[in-house]
Structure 1
Amino acid sequence: MESLGAPGVGLLVALENVFPPIPSEVVLPLAGFTASQGRLGLIPVIAWATAGSLVGALILYGLGRLVGHDRAERVLDRLPLVDVEDLDKAENWFRRYGGKAVFFGRLAPVVRSLISIPAGTERMPVTRFCLLTTLGSLLWNTTFVLLGYGLGTQWERVSRYADWFTWAVIAVIVLLLVRFVVSRLRRSRARRS
């Protein structure tokens, strides 16, 4: 981080958006700690981290836009336990909550990356997507950088608490997925009966 400076923070955050196993919950507090030591500027770290978030989000947005509705429908039609009607429901949900989903999605682990794909598939205007992504990412990045800055040498504590939050979000997603699969299996059995 010291050798690449604030642009290196941006690069790591961009990679984190595309490859979620690189946790921003570790990168950002470490960047904040490094800034507290005077080796990086606090404002440049936040600015580069937010720029990195936007770049990573735009890559996934572009992927979603490239795939589009028709291809997504064809893929979903081949998957077990999935009705193509679900795509229409998801599209309607995204049309209704799209802006909020993009903004608040930036504040939730795992969702931070994934929310860009439906935004692209649904062809959310890129200017609006960029604005909401920037604002949500700025809030997330500033919070974690300032926590690292404030905690100083104990910056690693942020990661511990962030891990709990991440696992809670993952648990909710898994529970929703299990509920979805069970309801599909029941519906499938009911149709056969």
Structure 2
Amino acid sequence: MSTATAFLESALAVVHVVGLPALFVVFVLKGALIGKVFPTSVFLSGYVAVMTPTYWRAALIVVLVTTAHVLGQGVIYAGSRRYGEDILSMLPLLPFDPESETFQRVEQWFHQYGGIAVFTTNVIPWSRGLIAIPAGVSAYPSGRYFVHVGTSTLLYHAVYVAVPLIGIAVLF
């Protein structure tokens, strides 16, 4: 067995052991706006492509990362309800400024469209999660907030898991 083959087998064994717990942690951080350091959606699709899970296991992955992401957003939402926009200065590695054009636009969308904006921004890759701050500050009902976030995030992650599965099915 070559060194490269042994390394790949070892790497796959590590992914099998720490894969799902690592995904959970990464997506909690992503939901809390801290994990925006690298593209987690690419990470998710790559994990699925490497693991080639059954459809039931793929569904489990979707539910796991969705739950983790919603938990992370829940932290930002609850923090925003308590501390307002100051939550942005309290958490490490948050690259958002409340005075930025992006933040102002998301805040405007929330005030104009409410729940539709919460749902929509959680399906658009570059605005995901940021809407938790204006929603929390305005005391938007938490039940409605989590329904919108949960359904949109489930849809978003289902696509990122389905694409590599469909690609693998077509190619092999």
TM-score for the superposition, normalised by structure 2: 0.67
Per the TM alignment, residue 33 of structure 1 is displaced from its structure 2 partner at its CA by 1.5
- The answer to whether the Cα contact below 8 Å between 2:84 and 2:133 also exists between their aligned partners in 1 is no
Q: Quick check: 1:55 aligned with 2:71?
A: yes
Per the TM alignment, residue 20 of structure 1 is displaced from its structure 2 partner at its CA by 1.3
> How has the CA–CA distance of structure 1 residues 127 and 7 changed in structure 2, closer, same or farther, with 3 Å as cutoff?
farther
Classify the secondary structure of the residue corresponding to 1:22: coil
Classify the secondary structure of the residue corresponding to 1:3: helix
Q: CA RMSD in A?
A: 3.1
Q: Quick check: 1:10 aligned with 2:27?
A: no
How many Å separate the matches in 2 of 1:60 and 1:8? 21
Number of corresponding residues: 138
- Counterpart selection for 1:114 from 130, 139, 151: 130
- Counterpart selection for 2:147 from 120, 131, 134: 131
How many Å separate the matches in 2 of 1:51 and 1:5? 16
Q: How big is each residue's C-alpha offset from its partner over 1:81-112, in whole Å with a ceiling of 9 and x where there is no partner?
A: x99xxxxxx87753441101110011112310
> How has the CA–CA distance of structure 1 residues 101 and 34 changed in structure 2, closer, same or farther, with 3 Å as cutoff?
same
Per the TM alignment, residue 71 of structure 1 is displaced from its structure 2 partner at its CA by 10
How many Å separate the matches in 1 of 2:87 and 2:44? 36
> How has the CA–CA distance of structure 1 residues 35 and 47 changed in structure 2, closer, same or farther, with 3 Å as cutoff?
farther
- The answer to whether the Cα contact below 8 Å between 1:31 and 1:45 also exists between their aligned partners in 2 is no
Classify the secondary structure of the residue corresponding to 2:128: helix
Report the equivalent of 1:100. Answer: 116
Per the TM alignment, residue 141 of structure 1 is displaced from its structure 2 partner at its CA by 0.1
How many Å separate the matches in 2 of 1:5 and 1:57? 22
How many Å separate the matches in 2 of 1:70 and 1:32? 37
How many Å separate the matches in 2 of 1:31 and 1:132? 26
TM-score for the superposition, normalised by structure 1: 0.60
Q: How big is each residue's C-alpha offset from its partner over 1:113-160, in whole Å with a ceiling of 9 and x where there is no partner?
A: 21111111111111111110000000100000111222349xxxxxxx
How many Å separate the matches in 1 of 2:58 and 2:126? 26
Rg larger in structure: 1
Classify the secondary structure of the residue corresponding to 1:114: coil
Q: Quick check: 1:33 aligned with 2:31?
A: no
Q: Which runs of 5+ in 2 are unaligned?
A: 1-14, 89-97, 100-105
- The answer to whether the Cα contact below 8 Å between 1:31 and 1:148 also exists between their aligned partners in 2 is no
How many Å separate the matches in 2 of 1:70 and 1:20? 19
Report the equivalent of 1:143. Answer: 159
1:172-187 equivalent positions in 2, closer than 5 A: none
How many Å separate the matches in 2 of 1:93 and 1:143? 24
Deviates more, 1:92-101 or 1:20-29: 92-101
Percent identical across equivalent pairs?
25
